[in-house]
Amino acid sequence: MDQIDQARIEDEPLLLTPGPVTLSARVKRAMLHDYASGEAVMQETIAWSRRYLLDLCNAQGTHTAIPLVGSGTSGTEAAIGTFVPPNGKLLIHTNGVYGDRLVEIARRIRTPYTSFRTAPYTPPTAEQFAAAIAADPGITHVMVVHCETSTGILNPIESIAAVCRRAGKGLLIDAVASFGAFMLDAKALSFDAVICSANKGLQAPPGLAWIIAKKSALEEAKGNAHSLTLDLWDQNQHMDRTGMFRFTPATHLLLGFAEALREHAGEGGIAGRHDRYRRSWRRLVDGMRQMGFRTLLEDEVASPIVTTFHEPLDPAYSFKALYEGMKRRGFIIFPGRLAAANTFRIACIGVVTEDDIGRALDALEATMREMGVAGMGRI
């Protein structure tokens, strides 16, 4: 199989963040073309991308792939606004910042909803979902974040989907961070919609969201949308009919996206990408623990997308100094205060390899010495 193109601009730091991610040179080169939106090359690019995404999640025949210009959050808002009817009600689970964002979207666009929160360090159970559904007969749809990147926890989507099937509820999955690195089988999960971002596991330029939508559920959603630009039913019917976006598309991003999908296929698809992320994550976690760092999550519930670490207790430590030291040495990391105080996060997605993680560990150790942090075992 082909290998990922790891060539990068030399003076740019490597992004060890859960988005945006560092892109390969071949994806960047693919964007160096100007095409009108109606040209055959653009229509072919969009059509091929739609087919590839459906193939990735065993969705041919039952689902359709709908692109939108915007962030992954644009996609989640479009899905909530399109699929939940005015007389429906959405059950939202949250165990982190991105679950909370779903609640904020539903509130802001006035979608009827209820929510329940579980601990950010442990996955929810099927029984908790079943109880929440049983407690409110008005619920028509359920929405959950697959990988909650504010901590790195992976929520148990298969058991949640089974509860929704038994209860006859539509399932919306926020797979913004996980799509492309985890299998989400449309036939097995029977989801109404999966939302993904171009710039996470698919390693494409940011600025595109994609929704894999069940055709039958989408037809039932005609007329629901709260927004013209985020109307998934309208976007899909126009695209099926014309092969084009309703409004000016992000042509350069679409070209980069298609090249990223070819790169994904060359790496071995979902299995190949997941394996690389998992190897990088294992080296990261093991290396950090050897230095004395503690992870926020136990390995059994953690994803290989991003890992959250407790900060040192040493008074010589500061995240600002850590960030600046890592940046000077060629790496960008994120603070972790989104979900837990006194933490920071390091991601393993984008064109990141085990060797890159090894270099990052060396850079982190050098930065800690530069700060004068001692007694790492006290972290």
Q: pLDDT tens digit string along 146-179?
A: 999 999 999 999 999 999 999 999 999 999 999 9
CATH number of 26-266: 3.40.640.10
Distance CA 248, CA 245 (A): 7
Dihedrals phi, psi of 356, to nearest 5 degrees: -60, -45
In this prediction, residue 374 has a pLDDT band, given cuts at 50, 70 and 90, of: confident
∠358-364-365 over CA atoms, to 5°? 90
> What pLDDT digit, counting tens, does each position of 306-365 carry?
999 999 999 999 999 999 999 999 999 988 766 678 999 999 999 999 999 999 999 999
pLDDT, average across residues 267-285: 98
> For the segment 51-85, what is each residue's pLDDT rounded down to a tens digit?
999 999 999 999 999 999 999 999 999 999 999 99
pLDDT exceeds cutoff 70 at 23: yes
Give the pLDDT band of residue 1 (cuts 50, 70, 90). very low
C-alpha gyration radius of the chain: 21
345 is in an annotated binding site: yes
The model's pLDDT over 206-232, given as tens digits with 9 standing for 90+, comes to 999 999 999 999 999 999 999 999 999
- For residue range 107-125, list pLDDT tens digits in order: 999 999 999 999 999 999 9
Say whether pLDDT at 288 is over 60: yes
Would the pLDDT of 275 be above 80?
yes
> What pLDDT, on the 0 to 100 scale, is given for residue 20?
93
For the chain, give the percent of residues with pLDDT over 70: 95
Give first-to-last CA distance, the chain, whole Å.
42
Give residue limits of the domains in the chain.
Answer: 14-21+268-378, 26-266
Task: Output the pLDDT for position 378.
Answer: 46
14-21+268-378 adopts what CATH topology?
Aspartate Aminotransferase, domain 1 (3.90.1150)
Same fold across 14-21+268-378 and 26-266: no
By percentage, how much of the chain surpasses pLDDT 90? Answer: 92
- Cα separation, 176 vs 180, in Å, equals 10
Encoded tokens for 266: 């060359």
> Are 196 and 204 a contacting pair, CB within 8 Å?
no
In our burial notation (b when 16+ CB lie closer than 10 A, e otherwise), range 1-34 reads eeebbeebeeeebbbbbbbbbbbbebbbebbeee
What global pTM score does this model have? 0.95
Considering the chain, what is the average pLDDT of its residues? Answer: 94
- From CA 345, how far away is CA 88, in angstroms rounded? 37
